[in-house]
């Protein structure tokens, strides 16, 4: 197998196929969709290949056969039929500006009408959209494929301007309702975006839309599988540790079983040959971090979240469930699907090292007062842990908490609750890329945090003295015999009892014993 060009940033099938780039064939999923129905919706995080999938649909319905030679769908499609396509994308523009969404949509509809040489009528978006679908059907004699990319971006971009966000939502509701009203002119519909707004708020007029976001049959419709890396990208693998690739980037799942890689991560890895937070660095999680801190969601809680199908779909301008926000944006993924009495529940967790390490680094910046000094703190913490210098570790954490100005505590309610202190410990270790596990269950209870590093096991128990004055953290570690679970590792085990004082806003005690 010879090496090909890496399709970094390319979202058009024609360019990939004609310029000899690597291509992972997703047309088998298109075949399955065409057999299932006509109206579909898919939610996936950013940079997951959604735009390329829509472009593949466009080329297929337009009958561009040469692009599909040797692909799964080639021998299962009637290439003599060409369908008109209306492809809309809300990927660019200033949707915070009142009225901009209308102008943007009208410009896109005008461009489609001009290219098809049909007359665009009406001055309102939904009416012009519906009239264009009718005109295209009448002009060509073939029903229309409607493809909408980043359908939700006009709302998401304006979340910090709630009035505009609600206006954009209401406007789009009318636009999408026009699709249902034009059913007799439509062959196929596919909408995609990052978030999954409830049907009541956005799709009330399009109730025949089938959501395949959590459908296990389509869990790999976007993203690369392990098999894709071994076959399609085989020439790029020499020189890279295969297990390290999995640890850093694999793990996104919409079924709890089948896992995929973010394509952007893999392509940047093959290009740079460096393990970095390629995907994470292309976005800003500031809104997410601010939301978590405002809601008092400690970092330890992120690995223990449970969501229902309905909850993971609950996303609207005025009501964004924490689980839905984390899941839909790609910072948490489904690690297990459970059925309890006929009710489906999903256990959520970090997909991989990239997300866990990077998100906790940003959370740590939000939990502390001075992000500019964090790099030096990280180096020092790593050195102290490597040397098992527990006195130095205690001094390091005491200095961190002592360095938080009084005003910061007064202006940040999060600093006054129990999970804040433990979150600082957890996020600091996780941000260093260390093997951390929270709420690790045994027959004796649930350990707050376990860290494995440099051939050692560190078992942490956290307490706030004002809330639990009768028993110490170290006593609890011993009484519940947490160390027994780790004896089989044949590694030194250290019990670390950490107690905090809300009154002193610092450590009350830091006790360490060899188990």
| 399 in the same domain as 316 | no
| 395 in the same domain as 432 | yes
Domain count, the chain: 3
Indicate if the pLDDT at residue 507 is higher than 90: yes
**Measured torsion, CA atoms of residues 294, 296, 301, 304, in degrees rounded to the nearest 10:** -80
- For the entire predicted model, the pTM comes to 0.93
In a domain, 241, yes or no: no
Indicate if the pLDDT at residue 412 is higher than 70: no
Bridge partners of residue 445, in order along the sequence: 442
Identify the CATH number of the domain in which residue 88 sits: 3.40.50
Answer yes or no: are the C-beta atoms of 476 and 497 closer than 8 Å: yes
User: How much is the average pLDDT of 405-414?
Assistant: 62
DSSP result, 352-390: SHHHHHHHHHHHHHHHSS-GGGHHHHHHHHHHHHHTT-H
Residue 320: the pLDDT is: 83
Identify the CATH number of the domain in which residue 439 sits: 3.40.1350
Lowest mean pLDDT among 164-178, 199-213, 288-302, 501-515: 199-213
Domain range for 335 is 284-349
For the chain, what is the largest distance between any 2 Cα atoms, rounded to a whole number of angstroms? Answer: 81
Residue 471: the pLDDT is: 85
Residue indicated by tokens 């109730």: 207
Indicate if the pLDDT at residue 367 is higher than 90: no
| 295 in the same domain as 409 | no
| 382 in the same domain as 343 | no
Q: Return d(Cα 73, Cα 278) in angstroms, integer.
A: 32
Answer yes or no: are the C-beta atoms of 72 and 27 closer than 8 Å: yes
Indicate if the pLDDT at residue 503 is higher than 90: no
Q: Return d(Cα 213, Cα 211) in angstroms, integer.
A: 6
Indicate if the pLDDT at residue 383 is higher than 90: yes
| 330 in the same domain as 392 | no
- 443 pLDDT band, cuts 50/70/90, is low
| 196 in the same domain as 62 | yes
Residue 52: the pLDDT is: 98
Quick one: DSSP state of residue 230? Answer: H
Which carries the bigger pLDDT value, residue 208 or residue 181? Answer: 181
| 342 in the same domain as 207 | no
Please give, one letter per residue, the 3-state secondary structure of 425-439: HHHHHHHCCCEEEEE
| 154 in the same domain as 44 | yes
| 394 in the same domain as 302 | no
Residue 413: the pLDDT is: 62
- 1 pLDDT band, cuts 50/70/90, is confident
SS3 state at 304:
coil
| 405 in the same domain as 321 | no
| 178 in the same domain as 34 | yes
| 510 in the same domain as 389 | yes
In a domain, 377, yes or no: yes
In a domain, 3, yes or no: no
Cβ burial, residue 457 (10 Å; 0-12/13-18/19+): buried
Q: Mind listing the pLDDT tens digit for each residue in 19-35?
A: 999 999 999 999 999 99
With pLDDT > 70 as the criterion, what percentage of the chain qualifies? 95
């Amino acid at each position: 197998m010879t090496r090909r060009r890496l399709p970094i940033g390319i979202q058009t099938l024609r360019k990939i196929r004609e310029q000899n780039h690597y291509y992972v064939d997703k047309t088998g999923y298109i075949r399955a969709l065409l057999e299932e129905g006509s109206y579909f919706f898919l939610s996936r995080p950013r940079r997951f290949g959604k735009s390329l999938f829509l472009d593949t649909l466009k080329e297929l319905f337009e009958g561009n056969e040469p692009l599909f030679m040797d692909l799964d769908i080639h021998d299962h499609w009637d290439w003599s039929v060409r369908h008109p396509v209306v492809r809309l994308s809300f990927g660019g523009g200033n949707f915070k500006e009142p009225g901009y969404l209308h102008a943007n949509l009208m410009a896109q509809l005008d461009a489609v009408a001009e290219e098809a040489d049909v007359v665009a009528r009406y001055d309102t978006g939904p009416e012009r959209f519906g009239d264009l679908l009718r005109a295209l059907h009448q002009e060509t004699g073939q029903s229309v494929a409607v493809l909408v990319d980043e359908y939700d971006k006009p709302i998401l971009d304006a979340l910090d301007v709630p009035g505009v966000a609600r206006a954009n939502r209401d406007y789009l509701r009318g636009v999408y309702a026009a699709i249902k009203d034009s059913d007799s002119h439509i062959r196929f519909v596919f909408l995609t975006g990052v978030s999954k707004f409830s049907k009541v708020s956005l799709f009330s007029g399009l109730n025949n839309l089938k959501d395949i976001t959590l459908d296990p049959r389509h869990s790999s419709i976007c993203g690369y599988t392990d098999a894709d890396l071994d076959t399609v990208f085989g020439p790029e693998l020499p020189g890279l540790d295969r297990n390290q690739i999995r640890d850093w980037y694999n793990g996104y799942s919409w079924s709890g079983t089948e896992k995929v890689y973010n394509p952007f991560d893999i392509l940047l890895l093959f290009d740079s040959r460096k393990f970095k937070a390629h995907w994470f660095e292309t976005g800003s999680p500031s809104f997410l971090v601010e939301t978590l801190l405002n809601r008092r969601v400690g970092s330890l809680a992120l690995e223990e979240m449970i969501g229902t199908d309905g909850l993971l779909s609950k996303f609207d301008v005025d009501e964004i469930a924490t689980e839905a926000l984390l899941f839909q944006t790609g910072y948490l993924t489904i690690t297990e699907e459970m059925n309890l009495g006929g009710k489906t529940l999903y256990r959520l967790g970090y997909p991989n090292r990239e997300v866990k390490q990077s998100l906790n680094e940003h959370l740590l910046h939000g939990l502390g007062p001075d992000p500019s000094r964090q790099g030096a703190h990280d180096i020092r913490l790593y050195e102290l842990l490597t040397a098992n210098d527990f006195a130095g570790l205690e001094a390091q954490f005491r200095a961190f908490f002592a360095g938080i100005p009084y005003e910061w505590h007064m202006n940040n309610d999060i600093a006054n609750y129990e999970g804040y202190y433990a979150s600082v410990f957890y996020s600091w270790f996780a941000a260093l890329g260390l093997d951390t596990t929270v709420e690790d269950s045994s027959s004796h209870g649930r350990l707050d945090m376990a860290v494995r590093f440099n051939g050692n096991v560190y078992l942490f128990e956290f307490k706030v003295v004002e809330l639990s004055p009768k028993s110490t953290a170290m006593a609890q570690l011993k009484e519940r015999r947490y160390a027994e679970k780790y004896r089989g590792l044949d590694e030194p085990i250290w019990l670390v009892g950490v107690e905090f004082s809300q009154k002193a806003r610092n450590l009350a005690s830091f006790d360490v014993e060899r188990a």
